[in-house]
Amino acid sequence: MTTSRYYRIGQIVPSSNTTMETEIPAILRARELLEPERFTFHSSRMRMKQVTRDELAAMDADSDRCALELSDAHVDVLGYACLVAIMSMGHGYHRLSEQRLYQRTLENGCPVPVVTSAGALVTGLQAIGAKKVAILTPYMKPLTKLVIDYIESEGIEVVDSISLEIADNLEVGRQDPRAPIEITRKLNTNGVDAIVASACVQMPSLPSIQPIEDRTGLPVISSSVATTYQMLKRLGLKTAVPGFGSLLSGRY
């Protein structure tokens, strides 16, 4: 008889985020039907209501406190669940953030591997060999431009993008998670290697991932799928979770 091991999944989330604490558990609960590992979920929150550059910068400064709180709980992996907050701080900032937050946990006597959703999205695209992508975001166009510049600074060309231009973060979280199935039809996907169905941790998209991939024949990922993939890699666990796109097929 196989004994289940429990892993504590820690997340640093914006105070108005309602999606990462639903989508990441949904993926890992689906994995529990196939593998012996079990997961519990723990969060710490940073204040943020409007998705503006000033609020994102102020929020990011609060992430150190959150890392300390989660390391008090001896989580097994820590995810920083705000993609645009990292990307708005300058190219390559996910590496600095991950290093700094890890150092906070180390100083607290409980070193925890740190994943950022920004770094996870880039790493996920690189893992599937994507050189050209099309993306969907809920952001105002200037923030989408920041995301595009960040992704391209990591060597991945963004061929096309759609911005839904929703500034209120709660409203972003209220979007229909199946809406990207139709919205992504408007993206120019000629010559792209992958589609990002949600380049935002707050915009729900999980039920859209596999249908878009089945329709287009292209790998489709999202911020939550990429973050879950990277968390499983950091934990040294199998990454196969069928039904959530190529990145979680187990091939990577």
Cα–Cα distance list, 179 to 164, 196, 198 (Å)? 11, 14, 11
Catalytic residue among 172, 194, 200, 241: 200
Same domain, 169 and 236: no
Catalytic residue among 82, 85, 118, 203: 82
Question: For this structure, is 200 an active site residue?
Answer: yes
- Residue 197 belongs to what domain range? 120-223
* Cross-strand pairs, 115: 79
**pLDDT value for 52:** 66
**pLDDT value for 167:** 84
Same domain, 126 and 219: yes
Same domain, 124 and 84: no
Binding positions for substrate: 17, 82-84, 139, 169, 201-202
pLDDT along the chain (252 residues), means of 10: 83 90 97 97 84 72 91 97 85 94 96 96 97 96 93 98 91 95 97 97 96 98 98 98 97 94
What is residue 206's DSSP assignment?
Answer: G
pTM score, whole prediction: 0.94
**pLDDT value for 217:** 97
**pLDDT value for 2:** 57
What is residue 2's DSSP assignment?
Answer: P
**pLDDT value for 53:** 67
CATH number at residue 145: 3.40.50.12500
Query: Tokens representing 76?
Result: 């097994």
Binding positions: 17, 82-84, 139, 169, 201-202
Same domain, 179 and 238: no
**pLDDT value for 4:** 76
